[in-house]
């Protein structure tokens, strides 16, 4: 059974750990979001890809919820002491990875090849594919102005309401090598419980990726990142309220028109109604531990079998 998962950062990575517990990792492909990528202090940082790398490589900091475990902050302290900008936090171990990525990119190695090398180095058996090697970046339109994603999310603490998303470079962006093949070879497509607007939409903004999913002949199952209308973490609920007019499962399904056959929703939302073409599959969706992650991934496999 080959499974291909569209994933953002931390929420996606949690789900992927469950997937790898129920599917042979060699048969899992992950299509990652690069809309969040940012140049910091001359380094190319791919926050969503790195969240997946660190989680699946077993080096993520579970308590902090992002970055690496056993981290130290000497490099950033030096930047601060010298009056540099430190609003985007980077630990020393994290910086080591960004140094290598940035050097390889500067030498002309595409992001997908760089990511493959990093994934191999961290012991991943699954293919981790950036959606595109081309520069695609998320911009957030708010009443206070339009901001690059990280400026809104990190520097402004995502306090501004979002009126629209823009994905610069998307019109010209081609899928990275292996992406269309992973979609076409899959027996099951899954959309992780990531933020639909800023983690999954930038992937779907690559028109050939969206088209490949639209013409799928296998089930595509999404997992809702909301429980009882609330995001487990982050601004997805506020974004849905403003951009989709609601935070119920139908609003989540509405983010993926023509793209999903089932939506896995929480037990607490079992009474929700979905559009006729999307089957509701009820499960416990809060991924508190290995068992919960594994059961949620199994619910996605079961959902796929039910709509196949």
Residues that bind Ca ion (CB under 5 A): 8-9, 36, 48, 199
Are the C-beta atoms of 122 and 53 separated by less than 8 Å? yes
Which residues pair with residue 129 across a beta bridge? 31
56 or 223: CB nearest ligand GDP: 223
Report the distance separating Cα 226 and Cα 236, nearest Å.
8
Please report how close the Cβ of residue 35 comes to Ca ion at its closest, in angstroms. 8
DSSP string, 141-175: EETTEEEEHHIIIIITTT-S---EEEEETTTTPPB
Q: Quick check: 136 binds ligand GDP (CB under 6 A)?
A: no
Report the distance separating Cα 31 and Cα 49, nearest Å.
9
Q: Supply 197's token pair.
A: 């607007």
Q: Quick check: 51 binds ligand GDP (CB under 6 A)?
A: yes
Report the distance separating Cα 225 and Cα 7, nearest Å.
12
* Residues from 167 through 196 that contact ligand GDP (CB under 6 A): 192-195
Which residue number is nearest to ligand GDP in terms of Cβ? 11
Please report how close the Cβ of residue 231 comes to Ca ion at its closest, in angstroms. 13
Size of the site for ligand GDP (CB under 6 A): 24
Q: Supply 90's token pair.
A: 């980077």
Candidate ranges 87-95, 112-120, 123-131, 231-239; the one touching ligand GDP (CB under 6 A): 231-239
Please report how close the Cβ of residue 12 comes to Ca ion at its closest, in angstroms. 8
Q: Quick check: 14 binds ligand GDP (CB under 6 A)?
A: yes
Query: Three-state SS for 272?
Result: coil
Please report how close the Cβ of residue 174 comes to ligand GDP at its closest, in angstroms. 23
Are the C-beta atoms of 191 and 260 separated by less than 8 Å? yes
Residues that bind ligand GDP (CB under 6 A): 8-12, 14, 48, 51, 192-195, 199, 223-225, 231-234, 236, 285-287
């Amino acid at each position: 059974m080959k499974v291909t998962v569209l994933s953002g950062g931390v929420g996606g990575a949690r789900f992927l750990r469950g997937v790898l517990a129920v599917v042979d990792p060699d048969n899992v492909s992950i299509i990652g979001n690069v809309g969040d990528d940012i140049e910091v202090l001359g380094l190319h940082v791919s926050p969503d890809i790195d969240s997946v790398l660190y989680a699946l490589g077993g080096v993520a900091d579970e308590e902090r919820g992002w970055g690496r475990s056993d981290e130290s902050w000497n490099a950033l302290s030096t930047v601060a002491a010298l009056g540099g900008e430190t609003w985007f936090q980077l630990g020393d171990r994290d910086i080591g990875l960004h140094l290598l990525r940035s050097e390889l990119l500067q030498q002309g190695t595409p992001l997908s090849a760089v990511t493959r090398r990093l994934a191999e180095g961290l012991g991943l058996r699954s293919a981790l594919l950036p959606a595109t090697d081309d520069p695609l970046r998320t911009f957030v339109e708010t009443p206070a102005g339009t901001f690059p994603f990280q400026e809104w999310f990190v520097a402004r603490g995502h306090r501004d309401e979002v009126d629209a998303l823009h994905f610069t470079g998307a019109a010209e962006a081609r899928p990275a090598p292996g992406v269309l093949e992973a979609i076409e070879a899959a027996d099951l497509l899954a959309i992780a419980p990531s933020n639909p607007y800023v983690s999954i939409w930038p992937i779907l903004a690559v028109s050939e990726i969206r088209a490949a999913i639209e013409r799928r002949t296998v089930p595509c199952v999404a997992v809702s990142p909301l429980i009882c209308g609330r995001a487990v973490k982050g601004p997805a609920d506020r974004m849905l309220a403003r951009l989709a007019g609601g935070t119920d499962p139908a609003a989540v399904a509405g983010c993926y028109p023509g793209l999903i056959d089932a939506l896995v929703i929480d037990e607490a939302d079992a009474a929700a109604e979905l559009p006729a073409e999307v089957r509701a599959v009820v499960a416990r969706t809060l991924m508190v531990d290995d068992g919960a992650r594994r059961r949620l991934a199994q619910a996605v496999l079961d959902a796929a079998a039910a709509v196949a």
